[in-house]
Amino acid sequence: MNQHPWLESFKACFNNEQVVAYPTEAVYGLGCNPLSQKAMDEILRLKVRPVEKGVIIIAADVSQIMPFVDWDAIPLEHQQKIEASWPGPFTWLMPKSDKTPAWISGDSPLIAVRVTDHPLVIDMCNAVGSALVSTSANPAGLVPARSAIEVENYFQDQILIIDGPLGSQQKPSTITNSLTLERLR
């Protein structure tokens, strides 16, 4: 029996290059297949966000982010700090691999990645065997949605909304540069 009745709908959206909204550690996120430019264009349209800003990639485990990052460019002692912080609400800016699409990293040589500890997001990533795009579910300049109803108020029936509990975080994840260890948020 399927633990999550919405999982098949999510997989269909992912495979058909569509956008979904889902709960994360602190706020609802908009997500899609990170390799789908069509789906990313839709996220950017919904958020009224320029592609140059880039988005976060969220994953169930480290192996799902490896295609997007140049792990060997990160100092060994920083790699250990990164691994110790995951899973959890810690986003790291890492050197992007040559396979990372420009619509993910924007105009930066770095890509934002996180290995989540949110059970629902872990199930989503594992169901499709991939990391997901994760950007807050709100049009630019508005407060990020913290419930499925708030997502619906923002985007009406334009996307699949997966209803579920947020994690225990009150604020979005920290963002730290993996090369300098400078905390940006």
Tens digit of each residue's pLDDT (9 = 90 or more) over 100-156: 999 999 999 999 999 999 999 999 999 999 999 999 999 999 999 999 999 999 999
Q: Are 2 and 94 in contact (CB under 8 A)?
A: no
Q: Looking at the predicted structure, is the pLDDT value of residue 171 above 70?
A: yes
4-8, 20-24, 84-88: range with lowest mean pLDDT: 4-8
* For the chain, domain boundaries: 7-167
Residue pLDDT, tens place only, 71-93: 999 999 999 999 999 999 999 99
Instruction: Say whether 103 sits in a helix, a strand or coil.
Output: helix
Tokens, residue 4: 């999550």
Of the pLDDT bands very low, low, confident and very high (cuts 50, 70, 90), residue 2 is low
Q: Are 162 and 120 in contact (CB under 8 A)?
A: yes
Stretch 50-64: mean pLDDT, rounded?
96
Of the pLDDT bands very low, low, confident and very high (cuts 50, 70, 90), residue 174 is confident
**Given this model, what pLDDT does residue 28 score?**
97
Q: Looking at the predicted structure, is the pLDDT value of residue 5 above 80?
A: yes
Provide the whole-model pTM: 0.93
**Given this model, what pLDDT does residue 106 score?**
94
Higher pLDDT, 112 or 173: 112
**CATH number for domain 7-167, candidates 3.30.1180.10, 1.10.287.620, 3.90.1170.50, 3.90.870.10:** 3.90.870.10
Of the pLDDT bands very low, low, confident and very high (cuts 50, 70, 90), residue 170 is confident
**Given this model, what pLDDT does residue 1 score?**
44
**Inter-CA distances, 114 with 3, 14, 39, 125, Å:** 24, 19, 20, 12
DSSP code of 81? H
Closest to 78 (Cα-Cα) out of 173, 180, 183, 185:
180
